[in-house]
Structure formats: structure tokens, C-alpha cells
Amino acid sequence: MSPRGIIPDSILAALLVLMTGCTSTTNSAVTLRLSMIPTTNPGKIIHESKPFIDYLEKETGAKVDLAIPTNYAAVVEAMASDRVDIAYLGGFTYVQASARAGAKPLVQRQKDQTFHSLFITQPDSAIRSLGDLKGHSFAFGDVNSTSGHLMPAYFMRQQGVDQAVIDNSIYTGGHDVTALAVANRKVDAGAMDEQVFARMIKEGKISESEVRVFYTSPPFFDYVWAARQGLSRGMTETFANAMLKLNQGTPEQQPILQFLNASKYVRAVDANYDSLRLAARDTGLLK
């Protein structure tokens, strides 16, 4: 017997409306909370993130909220207190989030597997190598930055740089601020993210008449998207697959990849960050 033989049309219609409303409410109630470490100005990141957020909402079926704090440590704290589901972390902040909150690595840009720190100074500076830094002022980025502090300080110690240079360094809070501090001669030299440096040169924020790279570090693993320990496997895989699908050959995805400064994403592996854990312990930044 058909449903119409059991339930009057008016009641059936009302039930269908209620069922549709319940389904809509369930979907809209799912919110994916994202965060990103502030490698550059937080407001700028938020402003440029719309194509990325729209893409993720379409791929995951969830409402996506993106929050950018003013420092790296705040992202780790938010993940540890279950206020963020998935975060874009530097290698060191991932190591911290893994130790504190059991964060799980998901995906990373292919180039994050062989990342470098750049050491910069002014073009007319006498600084030509790490050994020349003695007696000069130096700038790191955020204290929790991988390419802006952890690995530069580690390589400086490995090569016997005068400890006073490291101890007396200033922390600018961001790679872009470090570059500008060097360009404006507020410090003699600094260390920063190679990708931020390339983007600032391309956008005319700094020029080769203002800054010169005098040392490029050995490669290390860096940025990674990671999920909090309690996030469902379904959501982590949906997010990871959405990132892995991004393709430069797809015109509508090009603004997203440009925002992410990426060309391709690959799966991330926790064991690849063991060298950063060793560096952090050696530098006294991780117990």
C-alpha cells in the first residue's frame, strides 16, 4: 500500500518539510574550525583566504571558520584545548602540538619536504658567511618559528657562531617583519622563510638593492596541515583528500594554490619531523 493510503497528503507534506529542515540543520551544524600560524600579517591572510574557504566548504560539506592569531604559540594552545580542528603549522609548532595534544599530520606542500631558511643582510654589508656575524645585530622571526628561529639557531650553533649573536638577537614576530627590519637597517642580518622572501621580492615589498642572501641553510621538513587527536577519521580524510585534489592545471583552483603558495600537496608523515625534535631539544626549546 502506498504511503498516501496511510497518511493524508497534508500531514505527509508537513512531515517532508520537517525532515528536510532536520537534514539542513544537521549539515549546517557541522563546523570545521581551522587555524593557520601567522607567517605574515594575520589580516592579510584572512582577507585573501575566501577562495580557499569556499573550496573547503564545497568539498567537506561543513561550514569552515578560519582564525589567525597574532603568534604561533596561540595556534598550538588552541589545538591543545580542542578549539581548533585542523591547523596549518610550521614544523616546530607541529612538533609541539604533537607532543602536547597528539596532533596528527595530514598533508603538506611538496616543497615543505626540502625547506630552507635564508640568512639575509644589506647588499653593502661586510657579512658574507655565518662566521662574519660576530659583533653584529641579528633578527629571528617568531620564537616558535621553524625556519625563522629553530633551524637557523640550530645551524648557527652547529657552525660555531658566537653565542652572543644568538643570545642578543631580537624577535620580530614574523618573516616579513624580519625582512623589513634588515632592509630598513634596523638590524644587520636576519633569518627567514625562503618562500616569504621570494614572495616579497616578487611583490616588490623588498628589493635586491635592499637585501642580500648570504647563506642558505641545509634542507629540513617544515609546514604541515595537522588535525587534533579527537577529530573524526571521516573529516580528516575528507580534508586531506580535498587538499590532495588541488591541481595547478585547474583554472578555478589557481587562486587557492596561489593563496597557499603551493603547487602540489602530498601526504605528511610524523617520523619525518624527528630531526626537528632533535634540533628543538638541542636548542633547549623542547623537553
The structural domains of the chain, with segments of one domain joined by +, span 10-113+222-271, 116-216
| 256-275 residue pLDDT tens | 999 999 999 999 999 999 99
Select the CATH number that applies to the domain covering 10-113+222-271 from these four: 3.40.190.10, 3.40.50.1820, 3.40.50.970, 2.40.30.10.
3.40.190.10
Query: What's the pLDDT tens digit per position in 147-198?
Result: 999 999 999 999 999 999 999 999 999 999 999 999 999 999 999 999 999 9
**HEC assignment per residue over the chain:** CCHHHCCCHHHHHHHHHHHHHHHHHHHHHCEEEEEECCCCCHHHHHHHCHHHHHHHHHHHCCEEEEECCCCHHHHHHHHHCCCCCEEEECHHHHHHHHHHHCCEEEEEEHHHHHECEEEEECCCCCCCCHHHHCCCCEEECCCCCHHHHHHHHHHHHHCCCCHHHHHCCEECCCHHHHHHHHHCCCCCEEEEEHHHHHHHHHCCCCCCCCCEEEEECCCECCCEEEECCCCCHHHHHHHHHHHHHCCCCCHHHHHHHHHHCCCCEEECCHHHHHHHHHHHHHHCCCC
Domain 116-216 has CATH 3.40.190.10: yes
Q: What is the pTM of this model?
A: 0.83
The predicted pLDDT at position 29 comes to 63
